[in-house]
Amino acid sequence: MRVIAHVDMDAFYASVEMARNPELRQVPMFVGGSTRGVVLSANYPARRYGITAGMPSSRARRMCPQVAVVHPDFDHYSAVSAGIREIFEALTDRVEMASIDEAFIDLTSALRRLGGDPVEIGERLRVQVTDEQGVACSVGIGPSKFIAKLASKQAKPDGLVRVVDAEVIDFLHPLPVEAIWGVGEVTAERLHRLGLTTVRDLAATPRATLQRAMGDNQGALLFDLAWGRDDRSVLAREPAEHSVGSQETFGQDTDDEAVVRTEILRMADRTAARMRAQGMVTRTVTLSVRFADFTTITRTGTLPAWTDRTNDLYAEAVRLFTRLNLQRARVRRVGVRAEKLVLKSGTYRQPALDEPARGWEEAESAIDRAVLRFGPKAVQRARLARR
């Protein structure tokens, strides 16, 4: 039995801007053009005034004259989306990004490997996305992509809904026909003229009747979806080279080297944890630094031995950072990526003569188990606990 999750970021552009500027959480705001253009995303205080995505900005300002308007920063939104994808891919490689703010995740193999509960895994993903990227998300879990997407819509805002196979019909049939994929205004109007207003009505209509009224392909699809039948697979991207990484944009540009080094440690810690979750090791570490003027540089180093330890990745990333010899340059974003990953089971690491029998490898394994059970802040380094 498949277990599919659909993760949908709540008011994504607006959520990202509120994470950067928490004062915006308490006031109506939207992302878009101030006088021309359209609303791209609105927070929930703005939605109470009737402001919705796709609405002309001029109309939104008339509906709420005091609304705060933020011009879009698509570079930053893409970076946050990439960071969210990294969280998903640390769990499984069966991830399909349907858009910048939503993804399908096939949890089937991950659950067999981890032996966890789908709801527990879904809640952990929600916590990690909020903790690492500062945005809320809703998660729907079901036996198919169709049901998972409907469940995530039911979970909004900032919730989780799971529909098991035995509950699909009871969950699906009371919904309006507009809930079905591909049913827009025109199709809904045609169905309403036939007296079909709910999914139950569709399911009770013979397939042949729907095909005569709606066409062979669409009629058959509507009938199958009305009974919860959807065998589409999660279309995961196949990377040319297996790698994992993390990056973080500072709330404000900084030239404080200690602050930058602490963030490099945080990124190395996340990257190493994701490697261990996949059973992978690396010898190649890449550091990326973006400056206040949006100039980005990357540097890559090679480690002497295969590793999945935070300290090893951090030491190499700091060495690369030091070699940049920056003179009070203002930094906007840092990232640490492990590249050319291989399975840990296929490598051997020669221990040093003075290395204790038990050390960081066992400690980080215990930390990973605690984080999996209690959340990302259950155990962390003291330096990272001080924001």
- Vertex 349, ends 344 and 352: CA angle to 5°? 150
Token pair of 319, please? 């060495």
Q: Are 261 and 250 in contact (CB under 8 A)?
A: no
- Annotated binding residue 354: no
DSSP string, 22-75: GGGGGS-EEEE-SSSSBEEEE-HHHHTTT--TTSBHHHHHHH-TT-EEE---HH
- Annotated binding residue 308: no
Q: Are 283 and 303 in contact (CB under 8 A)?
A: yes
How far apart, in Å, do the first and last CA atoms of the chain sit?
Answer: 43
- Is 316 catalytic? The answer is no
Nearest to 274 by CA among 108, 105, 106, 92: 92
Choice among 96, 102, 248, 364 that is catalytic = 102
The span from the CA of 173 to the CA of 191, in Å, is: 15
Handedness of CA 317, 322, 326, 329 (dihedral sign): positive
Q: How many CA atoms lie within 13 A of 382 on its CB side?
A: 0
Q: Are 40 and 12 in contact (CB under 8 A)?
A: no
CA 181: distance to chain centroid? Answer: 22
The span from the CA of 338 to the CA of 306, in Å, is: 11
Q: Amino acid identity, residue 162?
A: R
Q: Amino acid identity, residue 177?
A: V
The span from the CA of 153 to the CA of 286, in Å, is: 38
Binding annotation for Mg(2+): 8, 101
Q: Which residues are catalytic?
A: 102
